[in-house]
């Protein structure tokens, strides 16, 4: 694992753009069209108001209105989400001119009005009242699960919502394509045009595969091609709102620069998370990925796509660079996106049978075969010859949410681990990638990601085997006097020392580093172990798995505990069992080893095993606290504690016979 990380550190690349120079290369009227894709899947796990805030933040970009379109994919097929965007379309008529007139920087309404030092303009109170009114209506609808007739103000809205009949379910329904705003026909409160806003819920059928997020993105690719067909595409997660209105211009500085490699396929911005507590107890900022790995890969073929914040040339999804040269500018669509023929074609390409006997998902669009469609697709794009660039401006381009409870954190990582294993054992494995791209370092970089879950095996062994040996008075490590003992020590301190030094030099406190390494061990011991088992079961045909959406809903008491740095357990989930079982065994083993050392007055035989157990015990302090002392709702459920004690006793009994 340590060796593969060195490929990222060979030649880190940091770039800077100068937006003021863009006008020397292209006029604003010649900017390429920009289609923004936003995906959501469950109105109860991903509250529609969060998705609405993301959409409004990009609709207010400093970009020619006539060239900007926002497409929202609702994979949950919920009329509640459609209603929320009907409300958003009305509010946008006031929000966009407000941002334009006052040169607002934070163009996400929630972030703008919730700022600790909000900007005050003459219209601020009025616009905030409109926003709060919209928020209350949307949240009331979500709470009730139905839409009051009093909220329907236009005939077209009633017709759109009437498609949700008794037989309409999230897993089985026809395609829905609703144009909420059309540039050239819908104007804001000041008479200026507005960007296109389109709601899409692709057709679902229980007898057709849907390929999770990759399938939803491919539907967006096809529907947008029938309507606007912009040459540049931005992909966003539902909670990843724009934090800088000039972000598209930063991307154009690369995409339109004549000195850049013509094979440049996409520009990737980092995911930056807001609301993370002071010491980041779950390691949610993903510092290694966005501050070490991405700059390191930029020097090679380019960074991976991180699932959000990627500006793509549309043509990258249709073949290798040499095959798509004629698509460089894109086919501009001039007809009304509300015309009958356009809507008929849009519904057709959103059908669940459309991809049958086509190259979609294999040679075209986002690729199928892995739950981490972002990494898998970017890997295959680089195999085809496309390059990418990492753009990390001082002001974060996008801000999103990171899980603030341990259960969501571990489940999210488990989903990633299954997807990574699917990539690792696909026909386009990292080894194949390294050969095809004629870059061993690129292969090592992808191997670092795709083989993450494999490390669950040695970490699990080290979390249990030496400690069980210690409980049985057995020594499996070298003695202190043995030179091999110091090899263990040097390797451990060297790897941890490098990691710690990087954290300190980046200005982060020691406590945050400690939490990060603990979160890494929790991921490996729990998420990666479960992910590895689930993948193997699926591989032999015993089990299948689906895409579980990470919940964005946060209770107030849970938020308060998180801000205090208190771990959130709360639910009796199996993902906690490896952590709690390891915590019990390591604590008992450390006390047993200490007792043995006191009786024998020698610690030489069990020094390394005691160090390992002691290191685990210190890391498990939040687990012990949740087991024994806490009384709040975030404590560890008694059921999990009891099962863990039984498992620990069973492992000890089995080890007694083995040793």
What string of H, E and C letters represents the secondary structure of 520-583? HHHHHHHHHHHHHHHHHHHHCCCCCCCCCCCCCCCCHHHHHHHHCCCCCCCCCCHHHHHHHHHH
Length of the chain in terms of residues written: 659
Any idea what DSSP says for residue 437? Answer: T
CA atoms within 13 A on the CB side of 200: 31
CA atoms within 13 A on the CB side of 281: 20
Q: What residues have CB less than 8 Å from 655, skipping those under 6 apart?
A: 468, 469, 471, 472
Could you tell me the two tokens for 33? 């069209």
The pairing of beta strand 310-313 with beta strand 264-268? antiparallel
3-state secondary structure of 491: helix
Query: CB–CB of 276/516 below 8 Å?
Result: no
User: What is the C-alpha to C-alpha distance for residues 456 and 523, in angstroms, rounded to an integer?
Assistant: 9
* Residue bearing tokens 């690369």: 254
Query: CB–CB of 258/252 below 8 Å?
Result: no
User: What is the C-alpha to C-alpha distance for residues 360 and 113, in angstroms, rounded to an integer?
Assistant: 42
Binding site, residues? 45-46, 75, 213, 237
Query: CB–CB of 527/575 below 8 Å?
Result: yes
Query: CB–CB of 236/382 below 8 Å?
Result: no
User: What is the C-alpha to C-alpha distance for residues 180 and 144, in angstroms, rounded to an integer?
Assistant: 24
Give me the pLDDT at residue 507, please: 87
Task: Render pLDDT for 413-468 as a digit per residue (tens, 0 to 9).
Answer: 999 999 999 888 886 665 565 555 546 777 778 778 888 888 888 889 989 999 99
Angle at 372 between CA 369 and CA 378, to 5 degrees: 85
Query: CB–CB of 393/309 below 8 Å?
Result: no
Binding site for UDP-alpha-D-glucose, residues? 45-46, 75
Q: What residues have CB less than 8 Å from 416, skipping those under 6 apart?
A: 371, 372, 527, 531
Query: CB–CB of 83/147 below 8 Å?
Result: yes
For the chain, list residues with pLDDT below 50: 328, 330, 438
3-state secondary structure of 45: coil
List residues with catalytic annotation. 75, 374
* DSSP bridge partners of 335: none
Q: What residues have CB less than 8 Å from 249, skipping those under 6 apart?
A: 19, 22, 62, 63
Instruction: Specify the DSSP element, H or E, that contains 34.
Output: strand 34-40
* DSSP bridge partners of 36: 70, 234
* Residue bearing tokens 């609703």: 178
Task: Render pLDDT for 596-629 as a digit per residue (tens, 0 to 9).
Answer: 888 876 778 788 889 999 999 999 999 999 999 9
Query: CB–CB of 410/522 below 8 Å?
Result: yes
Closest to 627 in 3D by CA, of 611, 643, 612:
643
Binding site for Mn(2+), residues? 213, 237
Give me the pLDDT at residue 408, please: 92
Give me the pLDDT at residue 309, please: 97
User: What is the Rg, in whole angstroms, of the alpha carbon atoms belonging to the chain?
Assistant: 27
Give me the pLDDT at residue 554, please: 66
């Amino acid at each position: 694992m340590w060796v593969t990380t060195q490929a990222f550190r060979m030649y880190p690349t940091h770039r800077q753009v100068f937006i003021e120079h863009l006008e020397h290369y292209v006029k604003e009227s010649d900017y390429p069209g920009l289609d923004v894709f936003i995906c959501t899947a469950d109105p109860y796990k991903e509250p529609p108001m969060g998705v609405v805030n993301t959409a409004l933040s990009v609709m207010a970009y400093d970009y020619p209105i006539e060239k900007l379109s926002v497409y929202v994919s609702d994979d949950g097929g919920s009329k509640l989400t459609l209603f929320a965007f009907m409300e958003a379309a009305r509010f946008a008529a006031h929000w966009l001119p407000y941002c334009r007139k006052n040169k607002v920087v934070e163009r996400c309404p929630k972030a703008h009005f919730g700022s600790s030092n909000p900007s005050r303009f003459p219209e601020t109170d009025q616009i905030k009242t409109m926003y709060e009114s919209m928020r209350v209506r949307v949240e009331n609808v979500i709470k009730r699960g139905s839409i009051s007739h009093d909220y329907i103000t236009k005939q077209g809205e009633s017709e759109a919502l009437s498609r949700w009949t008794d037989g309409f379910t999230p897993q089985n329904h026809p395609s829905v394509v609703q144009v909420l705003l059309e540039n050239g026909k819908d104007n804001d409160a000041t008479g200026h045009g507005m960007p296109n806003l389109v709601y899409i819920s692709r057709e679902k059928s229980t007898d057709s595969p849907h390929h999770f997020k990759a399938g939803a993105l491919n539907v967006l690719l096809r529907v947008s091609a029938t309507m606007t067909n912009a040459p540049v595409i931005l992909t966003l997660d539902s909670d990843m709102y724009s934090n800088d209105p000039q972000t598209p211009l930063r991307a154009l500085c690369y995409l339109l620069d004549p000195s850049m490699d013509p094979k440049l396929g996409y520009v990737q911005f980092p995911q930056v998370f807001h609301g993370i507590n002071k010491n980041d107890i779950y390691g949610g900022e993903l510092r290694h990925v966005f501050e070490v790995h991405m700059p390191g890969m930029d020097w090679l073929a380019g960074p991976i796509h991180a699932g959000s914040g990627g500006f793509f040339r549309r043509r990258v999804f249709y073949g290798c660079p040499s095959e798509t040269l004629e698509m460089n500018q894109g086919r501009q669509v001039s007809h009304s996106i509300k015309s009958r023929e356009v809507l008929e074609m849009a519904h057709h390409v959103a059908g669940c049978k459309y991809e049958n006997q086509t190259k979609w998902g294999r040679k075209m669009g986002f690729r199928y075969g892995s739950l981490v469609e972002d990494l898998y697709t970017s890997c295959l794009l680089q195999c085809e010859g496309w390059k990418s660039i990492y753009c990390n401006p001082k002001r974060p381009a996008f801000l999103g949410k990171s899980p603030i409870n341990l259960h969501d954190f571990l489940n999210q990582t488990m989903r990633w681990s299954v997807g990574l294993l699917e990539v690792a054992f696909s026909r386009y494995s990292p080894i194949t990638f390294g050969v095809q791209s004629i870059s061993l370092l690129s292969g090592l970089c992808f191997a670092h990601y795709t083989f993450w879950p494999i490390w669950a095996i040695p970490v699990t062994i080290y979390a249990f085997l030496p400690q069980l040996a210690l409980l049985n008075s057995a020594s499996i490590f070298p003695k202190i006097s043995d030179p091999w003992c110091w090899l263990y020590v040097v390797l451990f301190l060297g790897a941890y020392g490098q990691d710690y030094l990087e954290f300190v030099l980046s200005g982060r406190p020691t406590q945050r580093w400690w939490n990060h390494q603990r979160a890494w061990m929790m991921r490996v011991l729990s998420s990666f172990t479960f992910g590895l088992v689930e993948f193997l079961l699926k591989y032999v045909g015993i089990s299948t798995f689906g895409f579980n959406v990470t919940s964005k809903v946060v209770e107030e008491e849970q938020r308060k505990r998180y801000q205090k740095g208190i771990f959130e357990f709360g639910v009796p989930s199996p993902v906690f069992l490896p952590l709690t079982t390891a915590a019990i065994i390591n604590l008992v083993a450390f006390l047993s080893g200490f007792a043995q050392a006191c009786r024998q007055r020698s610690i030489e035989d069990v020094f390394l095993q005691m160090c390992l157990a002691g290191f685990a015990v210190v890391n498990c302090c939040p687990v012990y606290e949740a087991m024994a002392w806490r009384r709040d709702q975030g404590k560890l459920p008694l059921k999990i504690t009891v099962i863990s004690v039984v498992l620990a006793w069973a492992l000890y009994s089995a080890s007694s016979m083995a040793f």
